[in-house]
A and B are shown apart, each in its own frame.
Chain A
Amino acid sequence: MSARWHAHEGVRTWVALSPALLLVGVLFGGAVVMALLRSIGLLGIGEGGPSLAAYRQLVTDPGFARSLGLTLYVAVVSTSLSVVLGIGAALLLRRLGAGRRFATTMFQLNLPVPHVIGAVAILALVGQSGLLSRLGAQTGLLDEPAAFPAITFDPWAIAVILQYLWKEVPFIGIVALAILAAGGDDLEEAARTLGASAWQRLRHVTLPLLLPGVLSAAVIVFAFTFGTFEVPLLLGPSAPTVLPVLAHRRYTDVDLAARPEAMAISVVITVVVVLVVLLGAAGARRAIRGDAAVTEAGG
């Protein structure tokens, strides 16, 4: 192979990649740069030069700290519960004999449904005057709406987490099913003949097999639950609220000085998410690309 061919090969590679990188780079990169610049007071209304006033303001503002805490709590709880319940659901569905294909299709029916709709539906279900509360009233268990536990707009953001579970448990479940479908049964059988009990098979075969793929899917879930705006706005608590809602609230604040602060919050959201991504980066890419590690086992 002449060197020229290799060079040619390399060039062709980067030419093929350029449209995607250009589009994502210019648009997304431009947006992030804009947000960064405005968070230090440039391009915005402030005449003064770049200043970290907005960030200093955030650090001193207890409201910000509480919001950050709440957002982390919501994202971590939603993600970990989604992983546990998702894997549980996958293991359950896998043991279904007849009707497994139908059940799995129904299981992921709400995946394409946008979150906004999920929020409206969950509010209508678990709000204090929602369907469940009304059933309580009809059966005499509850005498007034306030008797129903307040899990919407509540400090623990339970309705928000419920909505995320409603969408993300099927997502993790499907990823787990995909990984196990590519050789999970065979390895468990091999383990059985090697004397592994049901519990040992789960701990030493099924879970290790699922780990890389599910971990990367979990990163995606964390990034979403940490950064989304519509669901906590419709279902979540108002004080403290999650960072995205806080960022929006500061953003539309009458006081113009709040705008760099809003940008700073957006930057913080971005930084936290990118950090988590770097943590699970390898797994995330593999999960999305679908060639989970287990395929080598089949070879």
Chain B
Amino acid sequence: MPPLTRALLLLSAALVVTACAAADAGDAGTLPDTSRWDEVLAEAEGATLDLHMWGGSTEINRFVDEVYGPRLAELGITLRRVPLADTADAVNAVLGELEAGRSSDGSIDVIWINGENHATMRQAEALHTGWAESLPNAALVDWRDPAVAFDAGIPVEGAESPWGSAQFQFVYDTARTDAAELPASYAQLADWIRDNPGRFTYPAPPAFHGTRFLTQWLYELSGGAEAWVDGFDEDAYEAAAARLFALLEELRPHLWRDGATYPNDIADLDRLFANGEVDMTFTQLPAGIGANVEAGTLPDSARPFVLDTGTIGDHHYLGIPVNAAEPAAAMVLADLVLDPDLQTAKLDPANGWGDGLAIDVGRLADHDRAAIDALTAGFGDLALPPERLAAVRLPDAPPELTDALDRDWERVVRQQRPRS
């Protein structure tokens, strides 16, 4: 999460606690019945849809405006995209409104959300639930896949409708590093770091990529992701964390700037990598780094790779606040983004994004599936084949784990204080 990452996570508990007490008995806006979809469309006609989403990538913003905007307009819905420096801002806005007693006609209709923000809003009961699986296009989604059904370990329960998928990948520069030398596991990565002093670093938690990088390392040190699928185990965490932070301390002098300072976020790491200060960076795009190379933020000779021991893949979703003013229009958008042709367009880096599919390829009509296969074939080596990604995909960790990691990293690595 970029600076002011979860700036307003602060208010979550405080506001929610006071809001629930203050707000009149939760008559939060009720959702229209998705089984009669034509009525939903009718109700959504003429609405202005407030979509709040992270605005850091101009390409993604342009994709949403130029692809979804016209399609919604055809349905009589005016899309108003509100860019956020950090999704937590929107979370706070909703919670703030609830706390101030505004339980309906809220300023936000739909939020691009996942991970901690999802956990926060669910904890505050600030999201409509049970609607996502009943959308017409929901049939295209494999709701049995744990990566879809669970968001950072928390069951989705229809509160979020998937928009796309992502998977953590490393990026290296073929001009500077030989493919053969690439590590296949975190253990080998540690050796690579010792052999290439000052040429590796990672964004400081709680930045998203930093936390995920360390979560995957913790998986490897605690016998794999399976250990955490059925919830957070304090003792298992303590054992694994001890080994992880000991290793990080040992590796510290070999890191960039002797591990005295760390980049704030993935953008800083990309800049260090592109300018040759470090030899690796990360990405989350299943379609690879085609868009980045095209935009000139990564060198042409950059290539993605994954570790055999696996990297975390997850989905990102659209959530509807309980006090959304236009829930119908929000559901129309959630359904629209799942259209196969729009999912394909989102996957194509030429459109500026290159985000992974939210729908299950197996459930598609032949011509849609053929289009996707043709597209992925064209990525060349700027993207990893879907099979390679699927083979090493690991589920996301429960929020308690990532929170514990963030807190320990701050105390141990940042402040150099022993773990309590």
Q: A7-15, A84-92, A249-257: which one contacts chain B?
A: A249-257
| Interface residues as binary, B259-287 with A (CB distance below 8 Å gives 1, 0 otherwise) | 01110100000011001110000000000
Q: How far is the CB of B74 from chain A (nearest CB, A)?
A: 40
| Interface residues as binary, A149-189 with B (CB distance below 8 Å gives 1, 0 otherwise) | 01001110000000000000000000000000000000000
- Asked if B260 contacts A239 (CB within 8 A), the reply is yes
Partner of B275, one of A145, A234, A249: A145
Please name the residue on chain A nearest to B198 by beta carbon.
Answer: A146
Q: How far is the CB of A263 from chain B (nearest CB, A)?
A: 10
How far, in angstroms, from A158 to B65 measured CA to CA in the complex? 41
- Asked if A239 contacts B414 (CB within 8 A), the reply is yes
- Asked if B275 contacts A129 (CB within 8 A), the reply is yes
Contacts of B264 in A (CB 8 A): 233-234, 238
Q: B9-17, B26-34, B143-151, B288-296: which one contacts chain A?
A: B9-17
- Asked if A129 contacts B276 (CB within 8 A), the reply is yes
Partner of B7, one of A144, A239, A252, A256: A252
How far, in angstroms, from A154 to B260 measured CA to CA in the complex? 8
Please name the residue on chain A nearest to B272 by beta carbon.
Answer: A129
Does residue B35 face the partner (Cβ distance < 8 Å to A)? no
How far, in angstroms, from A281 to B213 measured CA to CA in the complex? 50
Partner of A252, one of B198, B206, B257: B206
How far, in angstroms, from A166 to B290 measured CA to CA in the complex? 38
- Asked if B417 contacts A62 (CB within 8 A), the reply is yes
How far, in angstroms, from A140 to B337 measured CA to CA in the complex? 52
Does residue A248 face the partner (Cβ distance < 8 Å to B)? yes
How far, in angstroms, from A238 to B275 measured CA to CA in the complex? 21
Interface size on A, residues (CB 8 A): 32
How far, in angstroms, from A252 to B264 measured CA to CA in the complex? 14
Partner of A259, one of B10, B257, B260: B10
- Asked if A237 contacts B261 (CB within 8 A), the reply is yes
Q: A239-B261, A239-B416, A252-B6 are in contact. Are A144 and B407 (CB under 8 A)?
A: no
Contacts of A239 in B (CB 8 A): 260-261, 413-416
- Total contacts A-B at CB 8 Å: 77
Partner of B88, one of A238, A252, A259: A252
Contacts of A43 in B (CB 8 A): 14
How far, in angstroms, from A2 to B416 measured CA to CA in the complex? 72
Q: How large is the interface on B (under 10, 10 to 19, 20 to 34, 35 or more residues)?
A: 20 to 34
- Asked if B257 contacts A150 (CB within 8 A), the reply is yes
- Asked if B260 contacts A254 (CB within 8 A), the reply is no
- Asked if A254 contacts B10 (CB within 8 A), the reply is no
Determine the main DSSP class of A at the interface with B: loop
Does residue B335 face the partner (Cβ distance < 8 Å to A)? no
How far, in angstroms, from A233 to B261 measured CA to CA in the complex? 12
Q: A237-B261, A252-B88 are in contact. Are A44 and B14 (CB under 8 A)?
A: yes
How far, in angstroms, from A253 to B4 measured CA to CA in the complex? 10
Does residue B406 face the partner (Cβ distance < 8 Å to A)? yes
Contacts of A237 in B (CB 8 A): 260-261
Q: How far is the CB of B158 from chain A (nearest CB, A)?
A: 26
Does residue A30 face the partner (Cβ distance < 8 Å to B)? no
How far, in angstroms, from A62 to B417 measured CA to CA in the complex? 9
- Asked if A248 contacts B206 (CB within 8 A), the reply is no
Contacts of B277 in A (CB 8 A): 128-129, 145-146
Chain A positions 24-54 with a Cβ under 8 Å from a chain B Cβ? 43-45
Q: A129-B272, A146-B198, A153-B257 are in contact. Are A251 and B262 (CB under 8 A)?
A: no
- Asked if B406 contacts A254 (CB within 8 A), the reply is yes
Chain B positions 362-396 with a Cβ under 8 Å from a chain A Cβ? none
> Most A CB atoms within 10 A — which of B6, B7, B13, B277?
B277
How far, in angstroms, from A253 to B417 measured CA to CA in the complex? 17
- Asked if B415 contacts A254 (CB within 8 A), the reply is no
Chain B positions 124-179 with a Cβ under 8 Å from a chain A Cβ? none
How far, in angstroms, from A251 to B10 measured CA to CA in the complex? 7
How far, in angstroms, from A188 to B133 measured CA to CA in the complex? 84
Does residue A63 face the partner (Cβ distance < 8 Å to B)? yes
Contacts of A128 in B (CB 8 A): 275, 277
Please name the residue on chain A nearest to B119 by beta carbon.
Answer: A254
Please name the residue on chain A nearest to B13 by beta carbon.
Answer: A45
Does residue B220 face the partner (Cβ distance < 8 Å to A)? no
- Asked if A45 contacts B415 (CB within 8 A), the reply is no
- Asked if B407 contacts A253 (CB within 8 A), the reply is yes
- Asked if A238 contacts B410 (CB within 8 A), the reply is no
Q: A45-B17, A253-B407 are in contact. Are A144 and B261 (CB under 8 A)?
A: no
Chain A positions 125-156 with a Cβ under 8 Å from a chain B Cβ? 127-129, 144-146, 150, 153-155
Chain A positions 202-256 with a Cβ under 8 Å from a chain B Cβ? 233-234, 237-240, 248-249, 251-256
Please name the residue on chain B nearest to A43 by beta carbon.
Answer: B14
Q: List 22 A-B contacts (CB under 8 A).
A: A44-B14, A45-B14, A61-B415, A62-B415, A63-B415, A128-B277, A129-B271, A129-B276, A145-B276, A145-B277, A233-B264, A239-B260, A240-B415, A248-B4, A252-B7, A254-B9, A254-B206, A254-B403, A254-B406, A255-B403, A255-B407, A256-B13
User: 4 nearest interchain CB pairs?
Assistant: A129-B275, A63-B415, A254-B403, A153-B261
- Beyond the given A153-B257, A248-B3, A252-B206, could you list 13 further A-B residue pairs with CB under 8 A, ordered by the A residue number? A45-B13, A45-B14, A62-B417, A127-B275, A129-B271, A129-B276, A233-B3, A237-B260, A239-B415, A248-B4, A251-B10, A253-B407, A259-B10
